[in-house]
Structure 1
Amino acid sequence: MQYDPIKRSLGKVFNQTPALRIFFYRLLDLLLLRAWYIRRELRKVSKLKQATLNILDAGSGFGQYDYYMSSLGKNWTITGADVKEEQIADCNQFFKKIKRSDRVHFKYADLTKYIEEDTYDLILSVDVMEHILEDELVFANFYKSMKEGGRLIISTPSDQGGSDAHHEHEEDGVHGFIDEHVRDGYNAEDIKTKLKRAGFKNIQTSYTYGKAGNISWRLSMKFPIKALNTTKLFFIVLPAYYILTYPLAYLLNWIDISQTHKTGTGLMVVAQK
C-alpha cells in the first residue's frame, strides 16, 4: 500500500488556503497517535525554557511538526529537511504566507550526506529512519550536527508489526499495508546500540501503539487509506466516517498515551549528545 498518492490528494484539497492547511494540521494532530507522543516530547523541551533553540526537522514532509514547533517556541529557528523538492517549495511558500519564514525554512537534504557541525539544539525525526537503509550513517551525521547537550527525538515503527508487513496473504506475494519501508521496524535494544555507536548517551526508548493505539490506527488510518486506494469515491463519505468513528479513536489514543507499554507497534526514542 502506498501513502504518497493519498498524501498528494489530501494536499490538493487542504492546500487551497493557509487557513485550510492549518485546519489540516490540527486534524492530523488529533487523528495521528504518533503526533500525540511527539507533541508531548516537544512540550518537555519547551519547559526547559531555553531562550533560543536551533532545530532540524529531519524529514519534514508536510511541515506539520514545524508549524507546531513554531507555535510552541517563538524564538525557535527551524530547518525542515526533505528529499522531495515539490514539498520543500510548498512548505516554504506556506510559511511565507503565514509570516513565519523568518524562523522556519525548508531545504533539500539527503540525510546520509547532510552534516552541519555543532549546529542544532534539537533534531526531530518522525517516521523517517525506517525508509533509510544506511541508518547508522544518518545517526552519525545527526550526532556531528548537534551541539553538546543537544537532544534527538525519533519516532519510528517498531519490529512488533509497526510496518504491518506480515499478514495472512504475505506468502502469496502480496505486500503489507506499508510497502515503502526498507525495514519492518526497530527493536528497542537494536536502535539503542546503533545510537550508542554514533556517540549518543542517556538513550531512552518507549513503545507506543499498544493494544488501544493499534485498534485506533486500524480504525482511523488503515481502513480509510485502504478504502481510498480502492476508490477515490470514499473521499465523499470520509467526513461522515470520521464523525462516526473518531470519538472512539480519540478515547483509544488517550488510553494509549496514558499507559506504559511492554511492547507496541511504534517506538519513541530520546537521546542526548
Structure 2
Amino acid sequence: MQYDPIKRPLGKVFNSTPWLRVFFYWLLDLLLLRSWHIRREMRRELKNRNGLSVLDAGSGFGQYDWFMSSFNKTWRIKGVDVKDEQIADCNTFFARMKRGDRVRFEKADLTRFDEPASYDVVLSVDVMEHIEEDEQVFRNFYAAMRPGGLLMISTPSDQGGSDAHDHDHESDGIHGFIDEHVRDGYNITDIEEKLTRAGFTNIQARYTYGTPGKLSWKLSMKYPILMVNFSKLLFVVLPFYFLVVYPICFVLNMFDVRMTHATGTGLLVKARR
C-alpha cells in the first residue's frame, strides 16, 4: 500500500494556511485510533500536571505537539525529528500560531540523544519500529528523564501491526510507513524486558487495535487509501464516503479505547523513570 498519492496532495492543501493545518490536526485526531489512545492516556496520567517539560521523540509534522500545547498551556514542549524540512516547517507553523515560545523543534538522532535529566514526559509515537538500536534509544530516554518521569510509547505489536517483510498483509500501514520498518512489531514481553534493562520501572503494556480498531482502520484508512491509489479522481468521492462511514468508525474507536484486548496489532506502553 502506497501513502504518497494521498499524503502529498493533502499535505499541500492543508498546509496552505495555518488554520487549514489546525483543521487537518483535528481530522487526524478523529480518524487515527492511536491518537485516541494517546490522548486518553495523557488525560488519565497528566491532568492538572502543570509546568512539565515534554519531549516528543519523533515529532513528524507536529500533530501531538499541537494537542499537548492545547491540553496544558504551562508545558514546555520540544519535538525532535531526523528530517530538516519537518523541523523547519513545524517551527514556522507554531511561531505563526503564537506557540513558539513554549513549543520548539530541533533535529536529533535518538540513538545519540544526550540531554540528561531534562524531561518529565517522553512521548514516542510510531518511532521505535523504525530504529534498529532500540535499546540504546530506551537508555537515552531514561537518562533524559527526571525521577518519576513518564515514558509513553505507541508502536506496532508482533500480531500483525507492521509489514517490514510482507507488504500484502491485511494490516499493512496501520502504524505508518511500513517500507521503513526494521522489525515486525514488538512482543509485549520483549519490550518490557528491554525497558527494564534500560532502568525503567512500573512498566505497563497493553494491546491496541483489537477487533473493533482493526475494522475501524480498514474503513477509515485502508479502503480510502486503496481508492486514491487506484485513481486520484476518487479524492472527490472521499468526503461523501466519510459522511457515511465515519459514524461507524467513531463507535468502533470508542469500543477499542475502552476494551481490554487479548491481542491487537498495536501496543501502548507506559513506564516510569
What CA distance in whole angstroms lies between the structure 2 residues aligned with 1:74 and 1:246?
Answer: 31
Instruction: Classify the secondary structure of the residue corresponding to 2:191.
Output: helix
Cα shift at 1:165:
5.8
Cα shift at 1:230:
3.0
What CA distance in whole angstroms lies between the structure 1 residues aligned with 2:122 and 2:114?
Answer: 12
Describe the superposition over 1:46-105 as per-residue Cα deviations: whole angstroms up to 9, x where unpaired: 32x333100000000110110010011111000010111111111111101110000000
Aligned length: 268
Describe the superposition over 1:157-211 as per-residue Cα deviations: whole angstroms up to 9, x where unpaired: 10000115676957xxxxx553321111011110000000100000000101110
Letter in 2 for 1:194: K
What CA distance in whole angstroms lies between the structure 2 residues aligned with 1:23 and 1:204?
Answer: 33
Letter in 1 for 2:245: T
Residue 241 of structure 1: aligned partner: 241
Is the CA contact 2:164–2:180 (under 8 Å) kept in the aligned structure 1? no
The CA RMSD measured in Å over matched residues stands at 1.8
Is the CA contact 1:157–1:185 (under 8 Å) kept in the aligned structure 2? yes
Task: Describe how 1:212-227 pairs up with structure 2 within 5 A.
Answer: 212-227=212-227
Where does structure 2 lack aligned partners over 5 or more consecutive residues? none
Task: Describe how 1:74-113 pairs up with structure 2 within 5 A.
Answer: 74-113=73-112
My pick for the range that moved more, 233-242 or 183-192, is 233-242
What CA distance in whole angstroms lies between the structure 1 residues aligned with 2:150 and 2:2?
Answer: 32
Instruction: Classify the secondary structure of the residue corresponding to 1:118.
Output: coil
Residue 64 of structure 1: aligned partner: 63
Instruction: Classify the secondary structure of the residue corresponding to 1:246.
Output: helix
Matched, 1:184 2:184: yes
What CA distance in whole angstroms lies between the structure 2 residues aligned with 1:260 and 1:254?
Answer: 12
Instruction: Classify the secondary structure of the residue corresponding to 2:138.
Output: helix
Is the CA contact 1:160–1:263 (under 8 Å) kept in the aligned structure 2? yes
Task: Describe how 1:8-19 pairs up with structure 2 within 5 A.
Answer: 8-19=8-19
Describe the superposition over 1:103-144 as per-residue Cα deviations: whole angstroms up to 9, x where unpaired: 000110111111100000000000110011111111011011
Residue 72 of structure 2: aligned partner: 73
Cα shift at 1:238:
1.4
Is the CA contact 1:58–1:123 (under 8 Å) kept in the aligned structure 2? yes
Q: TM-score, normalised by structure 1?
A: 0.93
4+ runs of 1 displaced by more than 6 Å? Answer: none
Letter in 2 for 1:114: F
- Are residues 25 and 163 of structure 1, via their aligned partners in 2, closer, same or farther at CA, if it must alter by over 3 Å? same
State percent identity of aligned pairs: 64
